[in-house]
Amino acid sequence: MAESIQDQIAQLRREHILTAAIDVIAERGFQKTTVKQIAQRAGVADGTIYNYFKNKDDILLAIIAQLTEAEAREMHFAEARQVDFTNFLQEYIAHRMNEIDENFRALKVVLSETFVNAELGRQVFEQIYDPTFAIAEKYFEALKADGALPADTDSKIAVRLFASPLLGLMLLRLMGDPHVDANWDAYTAAMVAFMKQIYEQ
Amino acid sequence: MAESIQDQIAQLRREHILTAAIDVIAERGFQKTTVKQIAQRAGVADGTIYNYFKNKDDILLAIIAQLTEAEAREMHFAEARQVDFTNFLQEYIAHRMNEIDENFRALKVVLSETFVNAELGRQVFEQIYDPTFAIAEKYFEALKADGALPADTDSKIAVRLFASPLLGLMLLRLMGDPHVDANWDAYTAAMVAFMKQIYEQ
Amino acid sequence: MAESIQDQIAQLRREHILTAAIDVIAERGFQKTTVKQIAQRAGVADGTIYNYFKNKDDILLAIIAQLTEAEAREMHFAEARQVDFTNFLQEYIAHRMNEIDENFRALKVVLSETFVNAELGRQVFEQIYDPTFAIAEKYFEALKADGALPADTDSKIAVRLFASPLLGLMLLRLMGDPHVDANWDAYTAAMVAFMKQIYEQ
Amino acid sequence: MAESIQDQIAQLRREHILTAAIDVIAERGFQKTTVKQIAQRAGVADGTIYNYFKNKDDILLAIIAQLTEAEAREMHFAEARQVDFTNFLQEYIAHRMNEIDENFRALKVVLSETFVNAELGRQVFEQIYDPTFAIAEKYFEALKADGALPADTDSKIAVRLFASPLLGLMLLRLMGDPHVDANWDAYTAAMVAFMKQIYEQ
DNA sequence: AATGAATGAGCTTTCATTCAT
DNA sequence: TATGAATGAAAGCTCATTCAT
């Protein structure tokens, strides 16, 4: 807490560089983006990058850390309103799609790199993927116990099917579908209706 | 049509190299895969690659072309059974998930690169994405005209929501979810049930 | 033995680059010599160096290997004429000083780097230093048994004192003493006389 | 002479940094040692170094200057006891080997760099090497005139042969020979005996 | 048509030096 | 005077591409 002014300035500088990095990496991909390009976007010299990040890979890890924090907030949000399923569905989907919107470029960076970088994939799995699905599965098991879901439901499958429409829409946007990109709010409303139709009959 | 033996041999050799390329690129990503690695996997010399492909990017374009053909077959399949919606849904989803399964590595290669390569994204859009969604939108318009869908349905949105669960599941697998990877057939059945629940009430 | 022409050409090319490397490194030191400078001296492109050496350090190891071979020949030479001590001294010193003369630049490179590179020092010790002194110590022990040396002689010390004048002269030349450099043959003769005076009274 | 307190403090600080520099450079070599490492060892900031030394090379020159002073003291010591050759030999060798022991790290630093740095080599020659050998040569000429040495002795060669055993032993220690390092006192005694045997028959 | 050695542009990273505080 | 963040030149190394064989 008792951070010196120096530390706060340093922290701001680090965030500034990280934002610039996400920007430029989202445009060209991590591998094709050079440290020089990140430095130019951030308005600093090449070497300065290395005062704030150990190496180029460390920048990627920092972007993941940022997403991990966002996902942790998301999970807290979900847990805080598990009481009423109808409202939960509506609020949760809207909230999540808003999160996707706000972290869009970071998501793009991490996701595309996760596909092709096994070590990074492992980190994303451990830090984001697994915890999220574990909690969701527990929630689905509770719904089964309450009789809200058929007893023979496979929670692992059910939870992934539950997540799939939102992930699919995100994928369309990541691929650059202009209609999804331009009408994200309309898709949010449609997605809520779509999900209600499935889970609230 | 009257291809010489020479041309056929050349064609086979090209396909052999392309298969090797998909293999090794799926493991490490396009940017991190070297031409030398592709050549080694194909069992040819580095220079030989350049007798069959203009340059490294051209290999990526050839992988896209392969997916474009698969997608064209997929669309023919879909058009051939538009008569009965119930059967269509079942067959179409099963067919498409099987296609995903079979072209998995090529999909992974192209998708991860599409995210970050604007020029490639444009090609994927023109050759695969747009034609597929255009046909689907036309089909949804016909369903609207038939009264099978509400008159105020936004076809563009509806078609993307329709596609989203399958794409989302594909994304989970691409990200390396071991449960999805190991139980693709179970997910196919579950997805069919999931979609029937939505579209056949 | 059954080396292909290709392999022989490659071997020659490697030796050509190594010679160029010794030349330029002897002038400026290993650390200050750039790979680009070695390539220019050898008349090849930078990247070509890496077709023949794993990395810059590997060049240094190759220079050591060359000295190790020279030292092995030296030890064979010494063992082959242990019979007559008077002749041995004369021939051995002359032979060794000639070897120093011929491998001078390689010695300079390896020695200066050995001082400051612990890992390299270990290699030089294991491959050159220890074997040589081990054999010499055994020889001195034999001389003690024969009564040619006092029974209370410490062989380890004696052998290092025996080697010291020659090593000292080498050091003077390595430091660039122009008189030693210009009159190496005269020093050879003087060294023989000097050593005879000590060991043949 | 009338140095202010400020100047004396500055002088002490400079010596403190120089000692730290010798320490760390002796471990890793001049080229591989960074200014940051020297600063850390000295417990000051990087920039502070440049208040006491013009640049990195200047640190090396200061180390030479320190050795030059030690060598000047050595030469005074030698000149002061030229009267009795038997005692001179004993005292001089013991004294010099003690000096080597005490300035060991500085010697290592300067010597290894002298091999490969022409400009530094020139300085070492002018400041240490030449004056020392010039005086020694004059002394040997005097011995010739006295008839203590044969009239046909080449003083330049004789003086270098005289120095060679001690230099050779120093070289062995610089190269890291553990036996020489651990038994420097025993080697001192052995060296005295060795030299007496040569020069006092 | 196949080969693979040679090329050199361009990458990541280091580090001596400067200078505002 | 002391600091240490910022700088950017220059290093080692990789690899897509070419071309003589």
Identity of the amino acid at D7 = D
d(C-alpha C11, C-alpha B83), whole Å: 72
C61 touches strand F (CB under 7 A): no
> What integer pLDDT is reported at residue B82 of this predicted model?
62
Q: Please give the pLDDT value at position D148.
A: 81
How distant, in Å, are the alpha carbons of C76, C153, C176 from that of D97? Answer: 34, 21, 22
Domains of chain C, start order:
1-53 (1.10.10.60), 62-199 (1.10.357.10)
Question: What b-and-e string marks burial along A56-74, b requiring 16 or more CB atoms within 10 Å of the CB?
Answer: beebbbbbbebbbebbeeb
Nucleotide nearest to B45 (CA to C1'): E3
Q: What is the pTM of this model?
A: 0.92
Residues of chain A by 3-state class (helix, strand, coil), percent to 5: 80, 0, 20
* Alpha-carbon span A36 to A56, nearest angstrom: 11
B148 or C24: whose pLDDT is higher? C24
8 Å CB contact of B198 and A201: no
Q: Which DSSP letter does residue A1 get? A: -
User: Distance (Å) from the C-alpha of residue D72 to the closest C-alpha of chain C?
Assistant: 19
Closest by CA position to C58, among listed C108, C119, C107? C119
Confidence of residue B20 (pLDDT cuts 50, 70, 90): very high
Length B185 CA → F9 C1' (Å): 58
**Sorting pLDDT into bands at 50, 70 and 90, what band is A21?**
very high
Question: CA D198 to CA B107: how far, in whole Å?
Answer: 85
pLDDT value at residue A1: 46
Query: Do the beta carbons of residue D191 and residue D166 sit within 8 Å?
Result: yes
Q: Which nucleotide is nearest to B35 (CA to C1')?
A: F16
CA distance C42 to chain D (A): 20
pLDDT of residue C1: 46
Q: Which of B93, B99, B23, B25 minimizes the C-alpha distance to B56?
A: B25
What does each C-alpha distance from D44 to A4, B128, C143, D106 come to in angstroms?
21, 63, 57, 21
CA–CA–CA angle D44, D109, C17 (5° rounding): 115
Are A154 and B186 inside 8 Å of each other by CB?
yes
Q: What percentage of chain A has pLDDT greater than the value 90?
A: 71
The rounded distance, in Å, linking the Cα atoms of B83 and A139 is 40
HSE toward the beta carbon, residue B115, CA cutoff 13 A:
33
Do residues C166 and C109 touch, judged by C-beta distance below 8 A?
A: no
Q: Given CB atoms, is A32 within the 8 Å cutoff of chain B? A: yes
Cβ of C31: how many Cβ atoms within 10 Å? 18
Of A145-154, B61-70, B83-92, which one has max mean pLDDT? B61-70
Tell if A51 CB is < 7 Å from nucleic strand F: yes
Query: Nearest nucleotide, C1' to the C-alpha of C54?
Result: F13
Give the per-residue pLDDT at D106.
Answer: 96
Rounded to 5 degrees, what are φ and ψ at A45?
-80, 160
Q: What is the pLDDT of residues D184-199, one digit of tens each?
A: 999 999 999 999 888 8
Whole-number mean pLDDT of chain C? Answer: 92
Q: Which of A133, A161, A180 should be substituted to probe chain B, the one whose Cβ sees the most B Cβ atoms within 10 Å?
A: A161
Q: Tell me the pLDDT tens digit for each residue of B150-196.
A: 889 999 999 999 999 999 999 999 999 999 999 999 999 999 999 98
Nearest residue: Cα versus C1' of F19? B47
pLDDT reading at A3 higher than 70: no
* C174–D169 C-beta distance less than 8 A: no
What's the confidence (pLDDT) of residue D83? 65
Question: How many Cβ atoms sit within 10 Å of the Cβ of residue B158?
Answer: 20
In the block, tokens 């450099």 appear at C181
Q: Looking at the predicted structure, is the pLDDT value of residue A106 above 60?
A: yes
Structure tokens at C130: 């220890």
pLDDT score recorded for residue C6: 85
List CB contacts of C53: < 8 A, sequence separation 6 or more: C14, C17, C59, C62
Residues C135 and C79 sit within 8 Å (Cβ to Cβ): yes
Q: What is the mean pLDDT of residues A166-195?
A: 95
B76 and chain A in contact, CB less than 8 A: no
DSSP H or E run through D194: helix D184-199
Q: Which of A54-68, B43-57, D1-15 has the lowest mean pLDDT?
A: D1-15
Residues 6 or more apart whose CB falls under 8 angstroms from that of C15 comprise none
Q: Give C87: exposed, middle or buried? Use CB within 10 Å, 0-12, 13-18, 19+.
A: exposed
Segment D82-87 shows an average pLDDT of 72
pLDDT digits (tens, 9 = 90+) for D1-19: 557 888 889 999 999 999 9
Chains D and C touch (3+ CB pairs under 8 A): yes
Over residues D35-57, the pLDDT tens digits come to 999 999 999 999 999 999 999 99
The pLDDT value given to residue B154? 94
In angstroms, the CA of D50 and the C1' of F8 are apart by: 19
Strand E bases within 7 angstroms of protein beta carbons: 1-20
> pLDDT confidence of B2, banded at 50, 70, 90?
low
- Is the CB of residue B60 less than 8 Å from the CB of residue A29? no
Tens-binned pLDDT, residue by residue, of chain C (201 aa): 456 888 899 999 999 999 999 999 999 999 999 999 999 999 999 999 999 999 999 999 999 999 999 999 988 888 777 667 778 888 899 999 999 999 999 999 999 999 999 889 999 999 999 999 999 999 889 888 988 888 899 999 999 999 999 999 999 999 999 999 999 999 999 999 999 888 876
pLDDT at residue C76, as a whole number: 87
Query: Is the Cβ–Cβ distance between C60 and C30 less than 8 Å?
Result: yes
Q: Please give the residue that has the higher pLDDT: either B4 or A80.
A: B4
More confident residue, A80 or B20: B20
Minimum Cα–Cα distance from D156: chain C residue = C179
The protein side of the strand E contact, defined by CB less than 7 Å from any of its atoms, consists of A 33-36, 46-47, 49-50, 55-57; B 6, 10, 13, 44-48, 50-52; C 6, 10, 13, 44-48, 50-52; D 32-36, 46-47, 50, 55-57
Residue D82: pLDDT band (50, 70, 90) is low
What is the per-residue pLDDT for D201? 60
Interface A-B, measured as beta-carbon pairs within 8 A, has a size of 147
| Mean pLDDT along residues A37-66 | 97
Which among C195, C193, C194, C171 has a CA at the least distance from the CA of C181? C171
Are B60 and B120 contacting, i.e. CB atoms less than 8 angstroms apart? yes
Residue B77 · residue B59 · CB < 8 Å:
no
Return the pLDDT at A201: 60
Judge whether residue B109 has pLDDT over 90: yes
- The answer to whether B156 contacts A177, with C-beta atoms less than 8 Å apart, is no
Digit-coded pLDDT (tens) for A135-150: 999 988 988 898 888 8
Nucleotide with minimal C1' distance from the CA of B51 is: E1
Give me the CA D42–C1' F14 separation in Å, rounded: 39
pLDDT tens per residue across span C50-84: 999 999 999 999 999 999 999 999 888 887 776 67
* D47 CA vs E20 C1’ separation (Å): 13
C169 CB neighbours in chain D (<8 A) are 160-161, 164, 168
* Chains C and A physically touch (3 or more Cβ atom pairs below 8 Å): no
- Pairwise CB contact (< 8 Å): A167 & B168: yes
Interface with D, mutate which of C112, C129, C197 (most D CBs under 10 A): C112
